[in-house]
Chain A
Amino acid sequence: MTDATPAIELRGISKAFGPVQANKDISIRVMPGTIHGIIGENGAGKSTLMSILYGFYKADSGEIFINGKKTAIPDSQAAIEAGIGMVFQHFKLVENFTVLENVILGAEDGMLLRPSLAKARQQLKQLAEEYELSVDPDALIEDIGVGAQQRVEILKALYRKADILILDEPTGVLTPAEADHLFRILENLKREGKTIILITHKLREIMEITDEVSVMRRGQMVGHVSTANTSPPELAELMVGRKVLLRVDKKPATPGAPVLQVRDLKVTDDKGVHRLRGISFEVRAGEILGIAGVAGNGQSELLEVLGGYERGTGEILLNGQPIDATLRHSNGRTRRESGISHVPEDRQREGLIMDFSAWENIAFGYHNAPEYQQSRLFMKNAAIRAATEEKMQKFDVRPPNPLLAAKNFSGGNQQKLVLAREIDRNPDLLLVGQPTRGVDIGAIEFIHQQIVALRDAGKAILLVSVELDEIMSLADRIAVMFDGRIMGERLPDKTNAKELGLLMAGMSGEAA
């Protein structure tokens, strides 16, 4: 097998974004007609590497060989000419164009559109039959689902005669059923002799579909193995660099009285799409309720309604007291005052102001708190700074400098800063979204411990995570969300990934 010419060979690729070294001297060989997985944690540099191969970023150094021939790929045009297609994690589609227009964009034949569109219509029909890739060519992108949008991206690549297809985290937005459909398409493509590179951080997908796998850690390539000769634990260890603790040490929960009771909660967004279709659940004191589900099934809206910055209808009770879901008489501030703290899913977008210093961020959301006020008008900045120093010590935020801007902390330390702010206020209810996304392994353990400690102190915790492993190891009870509904509740020691996966796909557990 080593005798054959690789479809792609990268030699010594390095790339830095300012002071951050995203890729360090990376080499990889991908054989033609195979599905090659690239696995690594978030931020390991997988997407950067593939964006370089697709000419989206320019490498600082290194060489690219396509089918044995050294090829310069200064831009995406060159990559397309070399027969490479890429499906980005965030689709690159023009929302108010039709499928057809998106497919021909950049690959038109001649000056006028009409002949190009006719030709593309014809080809799309063929491709749809060949690979199970059917989409309505005249539909607007904004009107079709994510699964269909992803198929448009694949069609775009195939329409450009790509032999090599790169997919970046393709299943992140898909239900398990849609993911299965995608994998069938990939198998079909492989059968036709296409080479496929699959970027993912999910071990399950690697084991299920790939032939070869390369592992990245912190911008470096740390191993190449053939999938048949490896196991998930081995890959996991390569990914994180040491044995992973899959289980969090914790005592069994001793749930008390219900702290949060939610009944028939509904959210409809500005476009009239129903995000939450009437969900009910409760969280008791001293327990962690984990919400599992594929991203985009209403979990974010749930956190936002409870956090007080998304309108909903229905009943919310905190310690038996009603809370207004419509936001007519309440907002994020009144939520905090009533004892709800919230670690949001996206700390860089919501949880922190990246240009604010650590101490300004510690006051964020609590800037109305009496201990931070000098008078009705003025804030007590010195007091906030002192409090910040204390909290940074307690939550091991490094460097412990209250004057440093949030953007200058690492992902893990940013998250600890948010936790220090939210947990240290000793809330009755803590909302946590994706607590360890983009966080290094050492910080993950610390963060998990802090969440469990708060539970043991008798507080209620609502945990939302798309990482099933995290849910299974942290939660005392698991609710699975699909399409704005709770599909079912399970106990972690009485269920398994397969059953939860079915629920996440919208199939009720009983029917399975």
Chain B
Amino acid sequence: MDLITILQVLDATVRLSVPLLLACLAGLFSERAGIFDIGLEGKMLVSAFMSAAVAAVTGSVWVGLLAGIGASLVLAGIHGLASITFRGNQLISGVAINFLASGMTVLMAQSWFQQGGRTPSLRGAARFNDINLPYVDQLKDVPVIGPIYADLISGHTILVYVALACVPLTWWALYRTRFGLRLRAVGENPAAVDTAGVSVIGMRFAAVAICGVLSGIAGAYLSTGLQAGFIKDMTAGRGYIALAALIFSKWRPWYALMATFLFGFLQALALRPDLLEKVLFVKVQVQLLDALPYILTVVILAGFVGKAIPPRAGGEPYVKER
């Protein structure tokens, strides 16, 4: 296999990993604060629709991005209301949010654009275009390093770089700031946070809001970066894969990067089944590649390869004794 092909696969890996990474970090903030979120999928989906729709109407992808984040935040707000304010079941709330998003996006798309549940195709400033990093032209002809820089590192949309920057940022916020200390504490023992004079509700809503923003960016990336417009159910289970990656990474930011890139790589391979056959000399079923992230996560969950221990107060609404 030649360098070009490898670069193509890796480039696809980056593109496919980014939405997973953003959603995974979104889930990380929420779950570290003790709020389980299986509604990542729904939040990504509304944002994918809303950002594409607004970008199509206004012609500005940035306005679209803001609208997408806003829509995602609305669902995050519902999740917060249900699981923090009314102490409901977080899993059930997540299920409801996914259905809500799946239904509402088509309803709105049909009502606004009458194109069978999709938005018009985006072009020009209405979508995030690939940007070239400095010196691409100069370096292009240097062997090996040139193509790697030009095709793999450079030439992605701004959101890709934002997503990558989010990893060290998340790590820093979590382990080096007051906010992070309180966030982790509220996911482990909310009573400790409460009696220390910090609002549990405030911390958890903050976490859920960050989760909303990040899944909003993830959704916007899907419809305005990766593709040029919204189509029905376009998240295609990415929210669940992100959830799997979150468990796989044991709720840690750098591991989240690795897990999402692994799963993104599997998705990229699934697009090129011929390659795998060439390398391994056996035909690998595409379906196996599709299922692999889930199978790996189940194995991790089973604790046979390093046990994934979720935040201790995860999934439990905070109720003072009695």
Contact = CB atoms under 8 A, between A and B. Distances in A.
- A and B touching (C-beta < 8 Å)? yes
A95 B179 contact: no
A362 B182 CA distance: 46
Contacts of A95: 188-189, 312
A96 B197 contact: no
Interface string B282-309: 0000000000000000000000000000
Nearest to A93: B192
A414 interface: no
B177 A111 contact: yes
A86 interface: yes
A309 interface: no
Interface stretch (A73-81, A300-308, A431-439): A73-81
A171 interface: no
B198 interface: yes
B194 A113 contact: no
B145 interface: no
Contacts of A88: 195
B53 to A, nearest CB: 37
Contacts of A111: 177-179
A112 B177 contact: yes
A311 B196 CA distance: 38
A102 B192 CA distance: 8
A150 to B, nearest CB: 14
B122 interface: no
Given A77-B197, A80-B197, A88-B195, A106 B177 contact: no
A86 B176 contact: no
Interface string A69-105: 0000001110111000010101011111100011011
Nearest to A78: B197
A60 to B, nearest CB: 14
A108 to B, nearest CB: 4
Nearest to A54: B195
B192 A56 contact: no
A76 B195 contact: yes
Contact of A105 (B192, B320, B322): B192
Contacts of B192: 92-94, 102, 105
B194 A76 contact: yes
A101 B189 CA distance: 13
B182 A105 contact: yes
A194 interface: no
Interface in A104-129: 104-108, 110-114, 116
Interface in B172-189: 175-182, 184-185, 188-189
A85 to B, nearest CB: 10
A277 B195 CA distance: 37
Contact of B193 (A81, A86, A106): A106
A114 to B, nearest CB: 7
Given A57-B320, A105-B196, A106-B198, A116 B178 contact: yes
Given A111-B177, A113-B176, A113-B178, A96 B195 contact: no
B199 interface: yes
B180 to A, nearest CB: 8
Given A76-B196, A111-B178, A113-B177, A94 B320 contact: no
Contact of B189 (A92, A104, A112): A92
A105 B192 CA distance: 8
A90 B199 CA distance: 19
Contacts of B177: 111-113
A107 B196 contact: yes
Residue among A90, A93, A106, A111 with the highest chain B CB neighbour number at 10 A: A106
A156 interface: yes
A219 to B, nearest CB: 14
Contact of A75 (B184, B188, B191, B199): B199
Interface of A: 17, 54, 56-57, 75-77, 79-81, 86, 88, 90, 92-97, 101-102, 104-108, 110-114, 116, 156, 160
Interface of B: 175-182, 184-185, 188-189, 191-199, 312, 320-322
Closest 9 pairs (CB-CB, A-B): A106-B196, A77-B197, A92-B192, A108-B178, A92-B195, A106-B198, A80-B197, A76-B197, A94-B188
21 contacts: A17-B322, A75-B199, A76-B196, A77-B198, A80-B197, A81-B197, A86-B195, A92-B189, A92-B194, A94-B189, A96-B312, A97-B184, A97-B188, A104-B181, A105-B193, A105-B196, A106-B197, A111-B178, A112-B176, A113-B175, A113-B177
Given A75-B199, A92-B191, 5 more contacts: A76-B194, A86-B195, A96-B188, A97-B188, A113-B176
